[in-house]
Amino acid sequence: MRSPLTLGKSRIEALSDGVFAIAMTLLVLKLEVPEVMHHSSNEAMLQQLLAMGPAFATYVVTFLIAGGFWFLQHLTYHFVRHTTGVFIWITLLFLMLVALLPFSAGLMGHLLIHPVSQLFYFANQLAIALLLNAQWLYARRKGLLDADDPDQIERLTFRIAGTAAVFAACLIIAAFLPFWSWTPIPVFLAAAAIVEARK
Amino acid sequence: MRSPLTLGKSRIEALSDGVFAIAMTLLVLKLEVPEVMHHSSNEAMLQQLLAMGPAFATYVVTFLIAGGFWFLQHLTYHFVRHTTGVFIWITLLFLMLVALLPFSAGLMGHLLIHPVSQLFYFANQLAIALLLNAQWLYARRKGLLDADDPDQIERLTFRIAGTAAVFAACLIIAAFLPFWSWTPIPVFLAAAAIVEARK
Amino acid sequence: MRSPLTLGKSRIEALSDGVFAIAMTLLVLKLEVPEVMHHSSNEAMLQQLLAMGPAFATYVVTFLIAGGFWFLQHLTYHFVRHTTGVFIWITLLFLMLVALLPFSAGLMGHLLIHPVSQLFYFANQLAIALLLNAQWLYARRKGLLDADDPDQIERLTFRIAGTAAVFAACLIIAAFLPFWSWTPIPVFLAAAAIVEARK
Amino acid sequence: MRSPLTLGKSRIEALSDGVFAIAMTLLVLKLEVPEVMHHSSNEAMLQQLLAMGPAFATYVVTFLIAGGFWFLQHLTYHFVRHTTGVFIWITLLFLMLVALLPFSAGLMGHLLIHPVSQLFYFANQLAIALLLNAQWLYARRKGLLDADDPDQIERLTFRIAGTAAVFAACLIIAAFLPFWSWTPIPVFLAAAAIVEARK
């Protein structure tokens, strides 16, 4: 059996940065400029902007979640020395789900508290988190990592697994209490901050 | 006659990564958020999402096919030492057909089993595959490759040629049996996996 | 407490270049091709293009302002040796506001002289400028900069702070005299040119 | 007077590749999937695709012209050692006009032979070509070039100037004979090929 081809990581990083940049920027296309007239009063126009509240909230939250996934992927690639075909295909599946975010966010911005839009949205986030874990596990098992900082690698393993756990929790809560589905995210961030500060 | 200008490959790689990232992410714009009301029942909303099945399937399949073309182009450039004007122009024609994918996918997602949308879709894929072969042949003939791994170069030649053959087969089947036009793709992937495992 | 992870700057630069490139290019989607007929006279068609004047002006001004922010971010990163998690998160917030520009520009192009669209537009620009200052202050305090050119670093500090001051002035004027809200921008550019020429 | 800041060229190249990739890929959004029914006959559907002929032709021609401008900018940057603030601002103006191409192409694809759409389209191309010349002249005068290949630099000067001349010719012909406005492009390409072959 031939030895597998060893590939650099610069191109898959460039494709990832491109897909993330576009998916994050396309979110803004879900914010439609309100149809107002030139003679609209300031009050009427402000009301229209305020009515876009759920869409703005979805934009901000989705952009920051996507930024978080980009940051975690950036961290995993920081430790990866080189890539292989399988590793790149896991990343392509990961990017396919990242590129779906503008659709999930559009559904959510349209119907913020509806159970179906929440389930779709958090299932998308959970699938992204699971593929990030799959990619990280694969890289660790196949020895693709620079192993000279085991402490940081351990820490990243917990952060990635924790992210998947959080979105699984959001998904479960969304099925029963859609209004409270967001709560695991700030709880996790606060807990992570406390753990970090203690060390 | 002057010696032709030798150019680096980083910029055409960056342009390629950009065009692929955008074409792959624009596919999601073909998934329109269903027009549902706040008081729609869960069943009504799930039905609308299920009605989007062909559009979702086209999204997934086209994203993965595009990812496959990106991967093959990544592999060809892996062996290329430097580029020339002609080589860059072949890549630009290749990218022109990649950028057409959101249109082909839109046609397909709209009318999954219609012969005309299938012929258009697979003709687009075949044209991309043929330009990938043209680029690879040009690079081999003009000595642009790093020839220190002839085994891997031979393997890549077969994969690229095989990809063109698969889409030619899809195109022919689409003309007569549109329902079965996808079948050459999994057959080829399975055959390739068996050949790889034997070596 | 563990020492924080030191990260390279190439990937956050690539993400920034991607978000800027897309936000700047999406501005053009706000320019809708006029619905004209094949037999429209030249005069009718020219009139339709002239009626797009405010949209074109907004395109040009927003593209150049965004280009200016990109240039200033490029300059700050020029002096940054490496990044940290906090630094990257400030950049992600900055990019979130950059990605909002096509919406702000759409509002502005639609209703050029309306106070509400002007307040929204300049608040967006001011928020971008403030995050650029926050990022720069953080990098200076945490010693992330290459300190071998204190003169240029001082100059950049003034330029970034001046940009925030200009958009704060635009915002205040927009609340009272929307027609004159743009004036601080050319005044600042002229003043900066005079200061530079004297040195 | 302080010495001006010398900047690298990698970030402005990345921004340029991003703007080109997006502008070129957004062209496809002007190709609308025809509104056909599931039971449409093959003939009806083919007719609808054939009716999109002018839009397809505009897509192909504009993509290739944009690819040509990208290639020429790639060549100019190949010879540039480092950049300055003024040089980057000329590039930003250049990119502002490149990002306008999807609008010009939309106008053209909508009304292929109308004088106003042709004048707008070729004025856009001419402005891009003129800024490319301005950038090149500035780089030569300010000594930003690697001067070790004067022969290639001379050749590139002619190609860039020739491109501007061609689009000026297209613009003039479009004003009088819109049907023949494209002709200078193949004439120039053929003449350039003959000149190249003779050397």
Give the B:C interface size as CB pairs under 8 Å.
3
- Please state, as a whole number, how many other Cβ atoms lie within 10 Å of the Cβ of residue B82: 10
Chain D positions with Cβ closer than 8 Å to C: 1-2, 5, 7-8, 11-12, 14-15, 17-19, 21-23, 26, 29-30, 85, 88-89, 92, 95-96, 99-100, 102-103, 106-107, 110-111, 114-117, 120
Q: Quick one: pLDDT at residue A1?
A: 41
What whole-number distance in Å separates Cα of residue D10 and Cα of residue D20?
Answer: 15
Q: Does the global pTM surpass 0.80?
A: yes
Residue by residue, pLDDT tens for chain A (199 residues) are 455 678 888 999 999 999 999 999 999 988 887 776 666 778 888 888 888 888 898 899 999 999 999 999 999 999 998 899 999 999 999 999 999 999 999 888 776 677 888 999 999 999 999 999 999 999 999 988 887 788 888 889 999 999 999 999 999 999 888 888 889 999 998 988 888 777 6
Question: Any bridge partners for residue C80, and if so which?
Answer: C145
Question: Smallest CA–CA separation between C173 and chain D, in Å?
Answer: 28
Hey, is A121 helix, strand or coil? helix
Q: Quick one: pLDDT at residue C7?
A: 86
Cα atoms in the Cβ-side hemisphere of radius 13 Å centred on C161: 7
What whole-number distance in Å separates Cα of residue A13 and Cα of residue A70?
Answer: 10
Question: Smallest CA–CA separation between D26 and chain A, in Å?
Answer: 12
Structure tokens that stand for D86 in this block: 């003024």
Cα-Cα-Cα-Cα dihedral sign, residues A70, A72, A73, A75 = positive
Residues C4-51 have pLDDT tens digits of 678 888 999 999 999 999 999 999 988 887 776 666 778 888 888 888
- Contacting residues of A for D18, CB less than 8 Å apart: 18, 21
Exposure letters B17-37 (e unless 16+ CB within 10 A, then b): bbbbbbbbbbbbebbebbebe
**Average pLDDT value for chain A:** 88
Q: Is C38–D11 a contact, with Cβ atoms under 8 angstroms apart?
A: no
- Tokens 């920027």 sit on residue: A25
Structure tokens that stand for D169 in this block: 């010719």
Question: Smallest CA–CA separation between D154 and chain B, in Å?
Answer: 12
What whole-number distance in Å separates Cα of residue D196 and Cα of residue D199?
Answer: 6
Q: Is A17–C5 a contact, with Cβ atoms under 8 angstroms apart?
A: no
Short-list D69, D39, D29, D33, CA closest to D52: D33
Structure tokens that stand for B193 in this block: 């996996």
What whole-number distance in Å separates Cα of residue B31 and Cα of residue B108?
Answer: 12
| Segment D80-90 mean pLDDT | 92
Question: Any bridge partners for residue B80, and if so which?
Answer: B145
φ and ψ at C113, to 5 degrees? -105, 5
Short-list B85, C70, B199, B108, CA closest to D16: C70
- Tokens 């000149």 sit on residue: D195
What whole-number distance in Å separates Cα of residue D122 and Cα of residue A29?
Answer: 29
Q: Quick one: pLDDT at residue A29?
A: 85
Short-list A59, A64, A71, CA closest to A26: A59
Going by pLDDT thresholds of 50, 70 and 90, the confidence category of residue C3 is low
Q: Quick one: pLDDT at residue C147?
A: 72
| Segment D161-186 mean pLDDT | 92
- Contacting residues of B for C21, CB less than 8 Å apart: 18
Cα atoms in the Cβ-side hemisphere of radius 13 Å centred on D182: 10
Q: Quick one: pLDDT at residue D139?
A: 93
Q: Cα angle vertex D188, ends D187, D193, to 5°?
A: 100
φ and ψ at B64, to 5 degrees? -70, -40
- Please state, as a whole number, how many other Cβ atoms lie within 10 Å of the Cβ of residue D182: 16
Chain B positions with Cβ closer than 8 Å to A: 13-14, 17-18, 20-22, 24-29, 31, 33-34, 36, 38, 40, 42, 45-46, 49, 59-60, 63-64, 67, 70-71, 74-75, 77-78, 151-152, 155, 197, 199
Q: Is A92–B64 a contact, with Cβ atoms under 8 angstroms apart?
A: yes
Question: Smallest CA–CA separation between B176 and chain A, in Å?
Answer: 31
φ and ψ at D34, to 5 degrees? -65, 145
- Give the DSSP letter string of B60-122: HHHHHHHHHHHHHHHHHHHHB--B-HHHHHHHHHHHHHHTTHHHHHHHHHHSTT-HHHHHHHH
Q: Quick one: pLDDT at residue D1?
A: 41
Hey, is A44 helix, strand or coil? helix
- Tokens 């300031």 sit on residue: A42
Chain C's closest residue to A43, CA to CA, is C116
Structure tokens that stand for D126 in this block: 């001419």
Classify burial at A32, counting beta carbons within 10 Å of its beta carbon; exposed 0-12, middle 13-18, buried 19 or more: exposed
Q: Is C21–D26 a contact, with Cβ atoms under 8 angstroms apart?
A: no
Question: Smallest CA–CA separation between A2 and chain C, in Å?
Answer: 33
Chain C's closest residue to A63, CA to CA, is C96
Q: With contact defined as beta carbons under 8 Å apart, do A118 and A178 qualify? A: yes
What whole-number distance in Å separates Cα of residue B106 and Cα of residue D69?
Answer: 29
Chain B positions with Cβ closer than 8 Å to D: 1-2, 5, 7-8, 11-12, 14-15, 17-19, 21-23, 26, 29-30, 85, 88-89, 92, 95-96, 99-100, 102-103, 106-107, 110-111, 114-117, 120
ipTM value for the complex: 0.91
Chain B's closest residue to C22, CA to CA, is B22
> Is the per-residue pLDDT at C128 higher than 50?
yes
> Is the per-residue pLDDT at D169 higher than 60?
yes
Structure tokens that stand for B187 in this block: 């057959």
- Contacting residues of D for C153, CB less than 8 Å apart: none
Q: Is D17–B22 a contact, with Cβ atoms under 8 angstroms apart?
A: no
Q: Quick one: pLDDT at residue D112?
A: 67
Q: Quick one: pLDDT at residue B6?
A: 81
What whole-number distance in Å separates Cα of residue D93 and Cα of residue D124?
Answer: 12
Cα atoms in the Cβ-side hemisphere of radius 13 Å centred on C127: 17
Question: Any bridge partners for residue D7, and if so which?
Answer: D83
What whole-number distance in Å separates Cα of residue C45 and Cα of residue C51?
Answer: 10
Short-list A2, A110, C196, CA closest to B199: A2
Low pLDDT (below 70) residues in chain B: 1-4, 36-39, 111-112, 199
Q: With contact defined as beta carbons under 8 Å apart, do D28 and D59 qualify? A: yes
Give me the residue from C2, C23, C116 closest to A151, CB to CB.
C2
- Please state, as a whole number, how many other Cβ atoms lie within 10 Å of the Cβ of residue D50: 9
Question: Which H/E stretch holds residue A107?
Answer: helix A101-110
Residues D33-65 have pLDDT tens digits of 777 666 677 888 888 888 888 889 889 999 999
Residues D9-42 have pLDDT tens digits of 899 999 999 999 999 999 998 888 777 666 677 8
How many Å separate Cα C101 from the centre of its chain? 8
φ and ψ at C100, to 5 degrees? -80, -15
| The residue type at D110 | H
Question: Smallest CA–CA separation between B1 and chain A, in Å?
Answer: 35
- Contacting residues of D for A21, CB less than 8 Å apart: 18
What whole-number distance in Å separates Cα of residue C60 and Cα of residue C55?
Answer: 9
- Give the DSSP letter string of C56-111: HHHHHHHHHHHHHHHHHHHHHHHHB--B-HHHHHHHHHHHHHHTTHHHHHHHHHHS
Q: Quick one: pLDDT at residue B1?
A: 41
Q: Quick one: pLDDT at residue C1?
A: 41
**Portion of chain D with pLDDT greater than 90, in percent:** 54
Structure tokens that stand for C188 in this block: 């600042």
Give the C:D interface size as CB pairs under 8 Å.
96
Q: What are the residue boundaries of the structural domains of chain C, listed by start?
A: 10-198
Higher pLDDT, D148 or D156: D156
> Is the per-residue pLDDT at D74 higher than 50?
yes
The end-to-end CA distance of chain C, in Å, is 47
Q: With contact defined as beta carbons under 8 Å apart, do D181 and D122 qualify? A: yes
Q: With contact defined as beta carbons under 8 Å apart, do A133 and A161 qualify? A: yes
Question: Any bridge partners for residue B179, and if so which?
Answer: none
Q: Crossing angle of helices C150-176/C115-141, nearest 10°?
A: 160
What whole-number distance in Å separates Cα of residue A62 and Cα of residue A60?
Answer: 6
Short-list C13, C59, C62, CA closest to C32: C59
Short-list C65, C80, C67, CA closest to C138: C80
What whole-number distance in Å separates Cα of residue A131 and Cα of residue A125?
Answer: 10
Short-list A92, D90, A18, CA closest to B14: A18
Give me the residue from B18, B60, B151 closest to A2, CB to CB.
B151
What whole-number distance in Å separates Cα of residue D92 and Cα of residue D37?
Answer: 45
Q: With contact defined as beta carbons under 8 Å apart, do D121 and D107 qualify? A: yes
Residues B104-156 have pLDDT tens digits of 998 887 766 778 889 999 999 999 999 999 999 999 999 888 877 888 888 89
Q: Is C100–A59 a contact, with Cβ atoms under 8 angstroms apart?
A: yes
| The residue type at A102 | P
